[in-house]
Chain A
Amino acid sequence: MEEFLQHIINGISLGSIYGLVALGYTMVYGILKLINFAHGDIYMLGAFFGFYFAGWLGLAHSPSLVTLIIILSLAMAAAAIVGATIERLAYRPLRKMPRLNLLITAIGVSLFLENGGQILFGADPKFFPELIQRRVLFTLGNISISNYQIIVISVSLGLMVVLQHIIFRTKVGKAMQAVSFSHENASLMGINTDRIIAFTFILGSALAAAGGVLVGLSYPRIDPMMGLLFGLKAFVAAVLGGIGSIPGAIVGALIMGLSEEMVVGYLASTYRDALAFFLLIVILIIRPTGIFGQKTAEKV
């Protein structure tokens, strides 16, 4: 029972990181109908930005809450710039093209970032600095909760609340909803669709980078290929919850994190990667639009 609780806590912590990355996928998919394969690599870049900023600013050896906040926001800002650049250079020129082309471009960008990262950062794993001291907050029998888990969960939760506010309470967010409903109609209403799409990428990339830094914090080995499978699983989480739906992405990510933790805990860790896809297939066959997805009528 104690072990089970421990797995639940670890699972929620992992799931909330999945959630941060899944949100970017779901937003971009909602607005462009594009599986942005490069998103997982933005998450990887976020972790590396955190690593290098900590090194350059000399903060790698002075762990404190301020350090964490500085590094987190710098990494998010840098990743947002990268995300906007990718959108501008690679995706915008292709917007009128068939969707498969856009997808191939996304795969191309992803390969470029991964292989470029291997040259730039080196293929060997780096060790993420301890940005804040690790403390065990309280133990209950064999269950231990560290401040890392609390930080991961609360940062993710905080960012999700901010995102929810941006999308549903601000003008930009309303414009995003309008663009995802219909590009043409939105632009007829005087919305600058290009700017809104760029903003979506900025938001998504910043969230992914936050995920990257948090992963670096909890599992300190980072390498240029880390975004590949993680990104894919985050996307699966988004599909699981119903793509285009923000609560769906979060719920999907939590399911993903929890079930992965359970498989590692009670079955074999080698089956971890298969589980994500098994869940996905089961859910899509039962409910093709995902848990929170809405059925859309097809026009003939």
Chain B
Amino acid sequence: MTEPSTAPEAVKKVSAPPPAAIDHGHDDHGHEAHDPIHAANPHLAHHFDTPQQQFDAGKLGIWLFLLTEVLFFAGLFCAYTVYRAMHPEVFVYAHYFLDTKLGALNTCVLLISSLTAAWAVRNAQLAEKRALMLNIVITIACACTFMCVKYVEYSHKFHDGLLPGKNFQPKEQIWELKSFRDRHPEAAEYAEKLSKLDEKKAAPAAPAAAGKAEPAKVEKLERPTEEELEPLLAAGLVGPRSLDPSAHISRPRMAHVFFGIYFFMTGLHGFHVLIGIGIWIWMLVKASKNQFGANYFGPVDFTALYWHLVDLIWIYLFPLLYLIH
């Protein structure tokens, strides 16, 4: 190491690289090979000076990433908000098709997995390897349960023709659904009458949604009561917001948009759950190798934070999609 000498010539020399000193072979970090902090902490990266610095950096990093995830989902929440504000009938219509119980089950499953994730962080901090691995396994199990319930829901929907976007062709009419009949029995009956009228109008026995209005002899129905009409109006089944206002009853014009939004939001969320499962498995492997302890538990902490965000998104998705009144 060239010390700055007092001689003026030293000024000129110094800017040239000094002659090679000790060759530390491949470990030329400029760290002495015997740097105690890095030696004692095999998981401390070379560009960090202390485990605390590494942990703090990682924590800030994951929070920034969560920030981006919030804004990523923001677009979908925005589309949801705009459409619900402008077309509330679509959302009322669609919610009869969704199973609140399964949604609530999924909510509870995710909440439990959040607990086990947070607990796992504690285990990692305290180097409690067994408990850590158990909590990670339970978290993964809950996540898989979530995905299975999701799969059940999706397959029901596909089976019932409730496909996203332009493929939306429900097989059952909404007033034939149990959830509608239970809530609004009078309206369900009235809807039946209206749809029979439409069947008579249409030339082949097509359902009202085909909406070819051939003015034939129309039976006059009695004026509907409040209980009969109001739920149908709210769901956009009758009136100017229905697909075919000239028919007596048909689904709302924009019904497919809800299911597009539904599948996109839950699908994207499910994709994040899958990624989470992958990362937790990776953490399980690392935990099994006894890597975590007081000076190195960042990865578990950061994975748990990601997982909590996935939970947070579902906490909002659930009421917005499943608890529409």
Say whether A associates with B. Answer: no
Residues of A whose CB lies within 8 Å of any CB of B are none
